[in-house]
Chain A
């Protein structure tokens, strides 16, 4: 077990280095110059000398390979460099933004599981009845509704029904837990709806598959009540693929956060990524891509560990 964990952790390193190398060179093909964009942001005229001086100050005048070497040496000491725009360290930019996004992601996951497990189960148990059709329509629409529009609809809805707009600005959970949850519930639902749709479909098909198994028929034939069969025998086995989907989608939640944070004006990782892209902030983009890659490999590892914990037949080796 411990050796397995250690080997997986070591195997992550080449993947992450690969990601870092590819992003480094990819984003430096950019025709736009972040320095020019930054200096022109104030609207003032900029001379060629100021641009050169700024490039020199930020170390962008060095040859590409030297910059690459600096970046790699930095990575080895876990130094991600400084944002070209704010000049704070990339690590601190990410650290201040991370908690909000993580909280939305966790809330979205809880919402998704709370929706998906009961709906997917109902849909599978009442296959080809109106319940099933209704659930499937809800699930398919979850894949079609853009999450930013869903967020806007919720704002419109709360305005129309309660004449209430969700408060702008983030309150820390430790300061005021109620205000914190209330403020983040709408973003969490708009990110979580799509997530729930994916998980519901998986829950349905996994349960249908399990219900066809021989041991389910045996249990029923033996006289075990249907409810008990479903709860004890079927659900626990159907949960395996659902855990995988929920886990892997968690790593992809950043995709939903990117747009949703814009709708609710939340200063999280998603908004940071949008800002970094529009500003051409190389170092910040690099840092964020690496962060997303790290989240992905870690989540994958956790899913594998969970899988082994849930299904004793699977041995980690």
Chain B
């Protein structure tokens, strides 16, 4: 097949392709960047060529003038479709096209190429990892991919304040668009809240007109102190009613405690007012 950049051809994996495939993955996929090469090679081998039932057909590379410009990985597994019934499916991943060769239809052609191979192998379904947004924007319209309604629930619990810090910094950028709050914090200087979050290291929140920052360790002279459970943080992401109900329970059980609220009523009120005016973002 001829393209503006040269003659494009597809072929299945051949031993010795590893380094060139890794180059493409490192250049294209976030998860493959900035990691030790030996570690990446071990990961790639485990996922693909090191699997006992691996077949060279599982990997397709796109070449232009004998240079690997894109790679597409799959793997055939037995998926449980019903009690006592498994169907062969291909679970795809690690799709990458070098930036300079994008918008030339390589993924479409590679998808068709792999479809023909999978059909020959008797594979019934093909699964791929994508966000709902990416599916709607691209995969559904282009190839027909759909999500099967599932009962899969994803649960997450914090063990460290680091992810919370990033979320608070993002929320701060949003909240401080509110002029009254920004002016109040400019007048007040630093507003420090000591945070005692269940099962997390001690930390404190520093609010200034520039933004919100979560710092590790105890606060020296906090304006306010808050003790919260992780269940309350999780309830805050489920909406206002679950949050209020949980807050009532936590206060009654003594698992949630706030001190210095009356001394800081004005700042707290401005934060709440600012929060009401923004879109909800869960912790």
**Co-assembled chains A and B:** no
